[in-house]
Structure 1
Amino acid sequence: MSLNHAKHNEDLCNKLNIDKKFCDWIVTTAFYSALHYSEYQLFPFKIGPTEYASFDLYYDAFKTSRDNKHDTRKRLVYSNINATAGAAYNWLKDLCWTARYYNYMITEQEADVAVSKLEIIKTHLSKLSAK
C-alpha cells in the first residue's frame, strides 16, 4: 500500500512541477510521497521478536504524550534509514507544514528543492533499489 501511495503522490508532484503554478502543492505532494516511501522502507519493522506490520501499529505501541506521528516517523527515518534521508525528510515536513498552515506562497526554487529532497530520500531506500 505505501509504495503505491508514494508513487501516486510522486506522479502528481511531477505533474504539478511541470508548470510550477501550485508550488505549495508540489511541496505537499513531495512530502507525502516521501512519507509513504519511508513507510515502505521501514515496515514491517522488527524489534526483538515483535514485528510491527505498519507505522500505525508501531506508533500505537510506542507513543507517549510528547509524541506526534510526524515526529515519530521522522525519528524512524533518521535512525533506521540514515541521517541524509532524515534531514531531507525533516526539511520537507517543515516546508509542507508552512505551506499548508501558514503561508501557501511557496517559491519555484523551494518547489524545486522539495522535488530534489524527495529524490534524495528515494536514493537511500534499499527496497527501491532491490526492485
Structure 2
Amino acid sequence: MATPPRASCLDHALHNFNACNKVKEIEKCDDWTITIAFYSSLKFVEELLFPADYPHPCNEVNITEFENFHRYVSAHGRIGRPNPHKILSELVENYIEDDDVVNYYEDLKTACYNARYINYNVGEQRKQMSLEALEYIKNFVVSK
C-alpha cells in the first residue's frame, strides 16, 4: 500500500480550520474548539516560517536552511531535550513581524493549554476569542 503524499502546512492548517468550524457547533465541546484552533494556528505559522534560513541551534554563527519545522526541532535535539511548542513560540516572536499574529498565537497556545490541562469548561466568550484569533492568523497567512 502506497503512503499518501505529505500534506503541506497550509493544507494541514486549512484541514484543521475546517474541523474547528465543525466542532464549534457541537454543544459542550468548547475546549476542543479551542484546541483545534490552536493546532490550526500552529500549522498556519509553520507555513509562514518554513522553509527558511535560521541560525543553527547548536552554532548560531552558522546559518542553515531548514526545510520544515520538524528538521529545525531535530537540530535542537543535539543540545538537550527540545520543547517544540517553546521553539515555535520563539520563532513566531522573533521572525513574524505582525504583532497581532504573535499575540494571537500565544493567546491560543495558552488557551489550549488551559482547556486541556486546567479547566475544560472554557465558555462561549473564550471560544469566540479563540475563533477570532484563528481567523486573523488564517487571513494573514493566506494573504502572503
Compute the RMSD of aligned alpha carbons: 1.9
Match of 1:59 in 2: 73
Partners in 2 of 1:101 and 1:35 — Cα distance?
A: 18
- Is 2:86 the partner of 1:71? yes
Match of 2:47 in 1: 40
Higher helix fraction: Structure 1 or Structure 2? 1
- State the TM-score, normalizing by the size of structure 2: 0.79
Deviation at 1:119, TM superposition (A): 1.6
- The gaps in structure 1 that reach 5 residues or longer are none
Partners in 2 of 1:90 and 1:67 — Cα distance?
A: 18
Match of 2:5 in 1: none
The one of 136, 139, 143 equivalent to 1:120 is 136
- The gaps in structure 2 that reach 5 residues or longer are 1-7, 55-61
Partners in 2 of 1:20 and 1:97 — Cα distance?
A: 20
Of the two, which has the highest radius of gyration?
A: 2
Letter of the 1:96 counterpart: C
Match of 1:7 in 2: 14
1:22-66 superposed Cα distances (whole Å, 9 cap, x missing partner): 100110010000000111111102137621011011122245448
Deviation at 1:122, TM superposition (A): 2.3
SS of residue matched to 1:7: helix
8 Å Cα contact 1:28-1:96 kept in structure 2: yes
> Kindly, what percent of the aligned residue pairs are identical?
38
SS of residue matched to 1:50: strand
SS of residue matched to 2:53: strand
Deviation at 1:74, TM superposition (A): 1.0
